[in-house]
């Protein structure tokens, strides 16, 4: 009886050991790839959050540059300061852009990420009338010609390009639009 019981106990212990070994093996099999995947997922999530903030910073910068007096974005020499407020989840952050000629910069730190704003201005059309660089519009000529007449514009028509770099985590966000000289 004693032998039988001790034999049974031994069998139970052995079986548990095999089960435990298999259990650890299976857990390791599942956990190891997850351990490798989790930091990747968190890294991607962090990068996406930074990218989303960079897009919003870029959009705010473009909107600001569309609203300032045209002289600021005309590419004229001299340093121009363009302050604007950036709305974030934790409040309002003041940002200052500095534009000198056709280039500008600015920076802002949100959380632990530094965002560097680069502005590039380019005259897309620059006049004067009759030059190849003038923006030419068409309109219907009055009869009897009945064709399309054209008008060459004398003003600047600027491309505004904004690049927002965020740390070393990804490619910069690039946004571009145009600004017409509507002063006249």
Partner 1 sequence: MTMRKRMTPRHGFALFSVLLAAVIIFVLAATLYFNTCSQTAVHTRLAEQTKALMAAKGAMQLAQYKFRMLPSEFYILEHIHRTGSPNDIARHTAAWMDDFDPARPNSPAARLSASLNAVESGTYQLGVATFTLVTRTGKGYTKDFLRIESWGSYNGIRRSLETLLEVEVTH
Between residue 132 and residue 161, which ones bind partner 1 under the rule CB under 8 A? 135-142, 146, 148, 151, 153, 155, 157, 159, 161
Cβ contact 107:124 at 8 Å? no
Minimum Å gap between C-beta 100 and partner 1 is 21
Interface positions, 89-108, toward partner 1 (CB under 8 A): none
For residue 142, CA distances in Å to 135, 137, 145, 146, 152 come to 21, 15, 6, 6, 18
- Using the rule CB under 8 A, give the single segment among 77-85, 97-105, 110-118, 172-180 that binds partner 1: 172-180
Q: Are 106 and 93 in contact (CB under 8 A)?
A: no
Look up residue 10 and give its two tokens. 């031994």
Q: Please report where in the chains the tokens 């299976």 appear, as a residue.
A: 26
* The binder of partner 1 chosen from 96, 105, 133, 174 (CB under 8 A): 174
Is 119:160 a contact under the CB 8 Å cutoff?
Answer: yes
Residues that bind partner 1 (rule: CB under 8 A) add up to a total of: 56
116 lines the binding site for partner 1 (CB under 8 A): no
- Which helix (H) or strand (E) segment holds residue 43: the answer is helix 2-67
Is 115 an interacting residue with respect to partner 1 (CB under 8 A)?
Answer: no
What angle is formed at CA 27 by the lines to CA 26 and CA 32, rounded to 5 degrees? 110
Minimum CB–partner distance for residue 77 and partner 1 (Å): 23
38 in contact with partner 1 (CB under 8 A):
yes
Instruction: Answer yes or no whether residue 71 interacts with partner 1 by CB under 8 A.
Output: no
Work out whether 16 is an interface residue with partner 1 (CB under 8 A).
yes
**What is the strand order of the sheet 91-100 is part of?**
79-88, 91-100, 103-110, 113-125, 157-166, 173-180
- Point out which residues bind partner 1 (CB under 8 A): 4, 8, 12, 15-16, 19-20, 22-23, 26-27, 29-31, 34, 37-38, 41, 44-45, 48, 51-52, 55, 58-59, 62, 66, 124, 135-142, 146, 148, 151, 153, 155, 157, 159, 161, 173-182, 184
């Amino acid at each position: 009886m004693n032998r039988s019981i001790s034999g049974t106990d031994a069998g139970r212990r052995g079986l548990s050991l095999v089960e435990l070994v298999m259990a650890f093996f299976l857990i390791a099999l599942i956990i190891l790839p997850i351990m490798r995947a989790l930091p990747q997922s968190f890294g991607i999530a962090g990068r996406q959050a930074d990218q989303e903030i960079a897009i919003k910073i870029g959009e705010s910068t473009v909107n600001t540059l569309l609203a300032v007096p045209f002289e600021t974005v005309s590419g004229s020499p001299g340093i121009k300061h363009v302050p604007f407020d950036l709305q974030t989840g934790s409040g309002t952050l003041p940002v200052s852009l500095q534009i000198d000629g056709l280039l500008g910069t600015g920076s802002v730190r949100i959380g632990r990420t530094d965002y560097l704003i680069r502005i590039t201005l380019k005259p897309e059309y620059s006049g004067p009338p009759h030059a190849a660089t003038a923006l030419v519009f068409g309109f219907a000529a009055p009869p009897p010609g009945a064709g399309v007449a054209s008008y060459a514009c004398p003003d600047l028509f600027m491309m505004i390009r904004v690049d927002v770099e965020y740390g070393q985590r990804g490619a910069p966000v690039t946004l571009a639009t145009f600004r017409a000289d509507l002063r006249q």
